[in-house]
Amino acid sequence: MSKLIKPQGYNALLDSVQTEQGIKLIKEFFQQNLSTELRLRRVTAPLFVLQGLGINDDLNGVERAVTFPIKDLGDKKAEVVHSLAKWKRMKLAEDNIQPGYGIYTDMNAIRADEELDNLHSLYVDQWDWEAVITKEQRTQKSLREIVRRIYGAIRRTEYLACEWYPQLKPFLPEDIHFIHSEELLQQYPDLSAKEREDIITKKYGAVFIIGIGSKLSNGEKHDGRAPDYDDWSTVAEDGKIGLNGDIMIWYPVLGRAIELSSMGIRVDAEALMRQLEIEGKEERKDLYFHRHLLDGKLPFSVGGGIGQSRLCMIMLHKAHIGEIQASIWPNDMREECLKAGMPLI
């Protein structure tokens, strides 16, 4: 409960019926824009995968996946996906998708270890996307161009929501600002990573923080990232480390920065082995996914996830993600939220 933000004087600008209509409007409009911007086609994705293949995303490496035995497979264990970062890359290879094109899908997950607050729920829904690139496009320049395209789709969605519901006023800036996590540390060395995110995002309104997962000059990571999907250890053309990052926006309703997307250029064979060694996970190289990558069977790619409920939350100016999606919340949180004018579904 200590992490629950209760904005003073908060009143939802849309009632429950308008909210449900708005969610449908935003989801349909944004995914069509994303598909057009990045030349993606929709695919059907799994809710769970077999355990032990290295296909599931282990996020920061500490979150436990929800698992269950499969009777007809001799009680082999399946686990609910955390995200589809690695599955998507295998799908690109399976469908022989060419450079410049890609896929997107609706990803639904259960994250039982999530710390529940205004932004975090047990239930996760996002658009997972992945596109094929050439080896020459594994650059920070290419990454920035894709970020600008995604941010453009986000701003068009905000414009639509505000046109549909005039009581909503736009707040996103025209452009997104780029900064490396090391540069951010040098500007604010006495602040924590989350405090640095808040101060830089409040300053610019929308920021892409580059280089998530590698250790900075203070010996700490800006944030954790698994070693086997995003490339966070390659030295980019600007001399800084990392070809990945997070799209952050300043959200005035809660008075804090919000991450809308985690994304990046994916590891090649060299970066995979380097990052597995850095994290002490060398044994993973023999897993199904990792062998395919090391044997050259997977294309170079870039990809990420964009939170569906989070995007709807900010577009509809809600104070709690539970006003957008149905999930399980502690009873005391439900009571506090109700008193604060943000009833949870």
From 128, 182, 231, 246, active-site residue: 246
Rounded CA-CA distance 299/293 in Å is: 8
Per annotation, catalytic residue among 121, 126, 214, 301: 126
Sheet holding 48-50, edge to edge: 48-50, 76-80, 67-70
Verify whether residue 126 is a known catalytic residue. yes
- Is 163 catalytic? The answer is no
CA distance 47 to 110: 9
69, β-bridge pairs: 77
Q: How far apart, in whole angstroms, are the C-alpha atoms of residue 326 and residue 223? A: 28
Question: What 3-state class would DSSP assign to 308?
Answer: helix
Catalytic residue among 137, 262, 308, 309: 262
Catalytic (active site) residue 259: yes
Q: Which of 89, 111, 155, 284 is catalytic?
A: 111
Which of 110, 79, 31 is closest to 306 using CA atoms? 31
Q: Is 111 a catalytic residue?
A: yes
Those residues whose C-beta lies under 8 Å from the C-beta of residue 209, and which sit 6 or more positions away, are 179, 180, 181, 184, 197, 200, 222, 245, 246, 248
Task: Give strand pairing partners of 302.
Answer: 131, 265
Q: Which of 31, 35, 57, 284 is catalytic?
A: 57
Residue 246 annotated in active site:
yes
Active site residues: 57, 111, 126, 246, 259, 262
